[in-house]
Structure 1
Amino acid sequence: MRVAERFRELYGYEPDGVWAAPGRVNLIGEYTDVNDGFVMPLALPHTALAAVARRTDGVLRVHSSGTGHGVLARGVDSLVPGSGTGWAAYPAGVVWALRDAGHPVTGADVHFSSTVPTGAGLSSSAALEVVTALALSELHGLGLPREELARLAQRAENAFVGVPCGIMDQMASACCVEGHLLHLDTRDLVRRQVPFDLAAHGLRLLVVDTGVRHALGDGAYAERRAWCQAGARALGVRTLRDVDCTQLPEALGRLGAPSAGGGAPGTPDDRISRCVRHVVTDNHRVERAVALLDAGDVRGVGPVLTEGHVSLRDDLRVSCPELDLVVSSANAAGALGARMTGGGFGGSAIVLVESADEDSVTGAVLDAFVAEGRSAPRIFPAVPSAGARRLG
């Protein structure tokens, strides 16, 4: 295994083991996890690998292939929120979160290698966090359950790195099951594995990585989370999860916005009401998608995806021209549905297609990018894969 060989080259001895944690793509339910809502991701076959050995001297040494940097070393006692930058802040944050929770993590040597595209909205950071948390839990005999690993990984990203993400990405990486979607209630982490055998239905789910990169730590993501929180306060609820879709017209009226429009464009009331409408309706879309899948109507999920994109584009306003182009060109070519996925402002979209139409839809998307003078996106199938695990 190349990751173990590289560990030996770097550190001069054998790792204690090799672990893997996947990236994810989210079928439906965006910005709902930061509102205690519902999501439905699947794990991708793309993984972050970690060859790890335990240390007992309080030193953390990390290295990642493809970064152009050498081994980075820190004393575990020196790890405090805000003390790390770049990719190494994610595993360092996990060590900090474990120790801050009272777990006796005494250091480690780690080499990472990842096939999860960075900046594509496919949770490369969560994969890095979860593989670190799982390896350290096992090596230090902590026996932490998967949901606790996810919570600690999320805390590392929130408090140490400074990105106010929800828990969906970490739960998907830690808990997904091959061949299934993860239907997750992010309030209490109750979850159900939903079978998702697209091939049996003659379907494919494609990921279209636009190549447009946007860091969620730059403020736009946090801004929308703050607008959601402001909407919940104005409505007198704990989070927007507590607003049912049937209550939405009344809720928007209380915010001073008509149910089908908004306040004056760009005003605070307009931004808040649009965020409220998106979150409440996207929670409902997750429940609709689950009901369709349980009934065996996988094709019926397609229009739900497209509805979700319109909401993300027009209400939450987190799309971009490239993501809109994927959705419009794919649907025009006969896709069953499509939407942007992830935090937005770039990254990836997903497209549900009949297997027989895959080539024509893919060709239409590529042709649309060429016609607008844009760089060709990367397109690959989303295959529901296993969550974090030890490989050796």
Structure 2
Amino acid sequence: MKGKDTEPGVLRPVAQLREALASGGGRAELERLYGPGETPAARQRFLALLERHASEFPGDRRAALFSVPGRTEIGGNHTDHNSGRVLAAAVDLDIIACACPGEEPVARIDSEGYEPQVVELDRLEARESERFQPAALVRGLASRLSELGWRIGGFQACLSSRVLKGSGLSSSAAYEVAIGTILNQLYNGGRIPAVELAKACRYAENQYYGKPCGLMDQTTCAVGGFVSIDFADIANPRVEKVELDFAATGMSLVIVDTGGHHADLTGDYAAIEREMKETARALGAQTLRGASRERLLAEAARLRAEVGDRAILRSLHFFDDDRRAAAQAAALRRGEVAEFLRLVGESGASSWMLLQNCYPPEATRDQGIPLALAMSRELLGGQGACRVHGGGFAGTIQAFVPEGLLPAYLAKMRELFGADSCHPLRVRQAGATAVAIP
């Protein structure tokens, strides 16, 4: 379905938006998204974005501003692909966008640091030439929303991202949700439910872009805050937002980039899902969520011959981390931070020992993630918690650091992994949203 159904009040002339921001307007909205301390910097980001939009798409245009958070996985490491449970959180590193409706069915996207994209939306079938290209995400998303009966149309957008690429904060999911949010607000009055939008994003990534992915990343970016997701029904996951002001707990959430990269790790990632599902089939189920921990242990001798030792260990991790993800969400709901941190630590140990995704099997010299975890444990001294972050094998760890230990922790991690390796983050309650500047 194509056409215009713009939400009243969202669109304003670009010049008016610039004037309102420059004169101090939108303070409450910026504080809602970024916190009081980051409001001046956020204001300058949006002003720079508006300047870019006016330059790239000149004319007397009415536009809207948007913000979509990145996400961090909190619990359930490699559980989603076997219909398990996960806990994730939106963070204050985000993609911001300025977009206006177009007269033609064409999406023109200028994303800072990337080649401009021009995607014709009058023909929405998948194109082989666009596989693994951003245009595939745009076309696939528009196609899926149209199939579901939502309106689509052309637009002109400038994007700017602080979601660190390759950090496990889901820059690709944030991009997808940003495009979906633009279509939602410009043509559907903001009525597309967050989870439905996330599903459309996953469809675009799976079917058009050509990359298999779950639904955790897109859902968390769309919903915001702490999000507990149960994938028992993979087509219709159960999503619950967990209300908690994490800033009031006295803990800082830090992502540490150990300097590894994910370029040649596709096989390592795929092996985890494959081995878990091989074990599930050996236990008479399609995924491990349909099997049982008790039977895994009871039939371990038979399974050693059928699937191998590592598959058994990884499956044991699944059962334990699936349970832990639900327990972590429950602890946060009760405000039991100490119990939550204990479970985070258990999850980290399980990923290291059972899941075995802290370094590639062939890596004997460079083991940045285990080094970061070992040093974190030393520095935290039994306080806080740490774990591998995201897919693993290289890249980032996640640490919950008491505020009193934060300066020393950051100093040591930066000494080991570089001045730009540490990223203290804030859990953001707002998901994908239009940014209202009165």
C-alpha change, 1:250 and 1:56, in structure 2 (3 Å) is: farther
Aligned to 1:344: 392
Shift of 1:345: 2.6
| Identity level (%) | 28
Amino acid at match of 1:21: V
Q: Could you tell me whether the CA contact under 8 Å between 1:41 and 1:183 is conserved in 2?
A: yes
Partner Cα separation in structure 2 for residue 344 and residue 183 of structure 1: 21
Amino acid at match of 1:239: T
Residues 342 and 210 (structure 1 numbering): CA distance in 2 closer, same or farther, change over 3 Å? same
Question: Which whole-Å deviations, capped at 9, do the CAs of 1:12-60 have from their partners, x for residues lacking one?
Answer: 2335312111101111112111122111111111111222223353322
CA deviation profile, 1:140-176 (whole Å, cap 9, x unmatched): 2272111100101111111222221110111100112
Structure 2 counterpart of 1:73:
118
Distance change (3 Å), C-alpha of 1:198 and 1:49:
closer
Which residue number in structure 2 is paired with residue 117 of structure 1?
A: 164
Are residues 1:24 and 2:71 paired?
Answer: yes
Structure-1-length-normalised TM-score: 0.86
Structure 1 unaligned blocks of 5 or more: 258-262
Question: Which residue identity is paired with 1:182?
Answer: V
- Matching residue of 1:105: 152
- CA offsets, 1:207-259, max 9 Å, x none? 212343315984433343233332222222242223344554136455x23xx
Please point out which of 398, 401, 405 is paired with 1:353: 401
Q: Relative to structure 1, is the Cα distance of residues 270 and 245 closer, same or farther in structure 2, using a 3 angstrom cutoff?
A: closer
2:325 alignment counterpart = 286
**Match of residue 59 from structure 1:** 106
Q: Residue 315 of structure 2 is aligned with which of 268, 276, 300?
A: 276
Indicate conservation of the 8 Å contact 2:228/2:326, yes or no: no
Aligned 1:323-338 pairs, distance under 5 A: 323-334=369-380, 335-338=383-386
Is 1:133 the counterpart of 2:180 in the alignment? yes
Residues 176 and 245 of structure 1: CA distance in aligned 2, closer, same or farther (over 3 Å): farther
With over 3 angstroms needed to count, the CA separation of the structure-2 counterparts of 1:215 and 1:86, relative to structure 1, is: farther
Q: Which residue of 1 aligns with 2:27?
A: none
Alpha carbons of structure 1 residues 301 and 226: separation in structure 2 relative to 1, 3 Å: same
Residue in 1 aligned with 2:10? none
Match of 1:384 among 427, 430, 433: 427
Does structure 1 conserve the Cα–Cα contact (< 8 Å) formed by 2:413 and 2:422? no
Q: Any conservation in 1 of the 2:86–2:326 contact (CA below 8 Å)?
A: no
For the 8 Å contact 1:16–1:52, the answer to whether it is kept is yes
Give the RMSD, CA atoms, in angstroms.
2.6
Deviation by residue 1:103-149 (Cα, 9 ceiling, x = unmatched)? 44233222211110001110111110111112102222272111100
Does the Cα contact within 8 Å between 1:120 and 1:211 map onto a contact in 2? no
- What's the counterpart of residue 308 of structure 1? 347
Match of 1:165 in 2: 213
> For 1:130 and 1:295, how far apart are their aligned partners in 2?
30
Paired with 2:293 and 2:420, the residues of 1 have a C-alpha distance of 35
Is the counterpart of residue 44 in structure 1 residue 91 in structure 2? yes
Matched-pair contact (CA < 8 Å) for 1:56–1:107: yes
Q: CA deviation at 1:376?
A: 4.6
Measured after TM superposition, the shift of residue 72 of structure 1 is 2.4
By how many angstroms is 1:303 displaced? 3.5
Q: What residue ranges of structure 2 are gaps of 5+ in the alignment?
A: 1-45, 360-366
Distance 1:91 1:113, change over 3 A: farther
Which one of 39, 56, 59 corresponds to residue 10 of structure 1? Answer: 56
Residue 4 of structure 1 contacts residue 15 of structure 1 at CA under 8 Å; is this kept in 2? no
Q: Distance in 2 between matches of 1:86 and 1:38?
A: 30
Pair 1:23–1:56, CA change in 2 (3 A): same
Q: Greater Rg, structure 1 or structure 2?
A: 2
Q: How far did residue 86 of structure 1 move? A: 3.9
Contact 2:108/2:118 (CA < 8 Å) preserved in 1?
yes
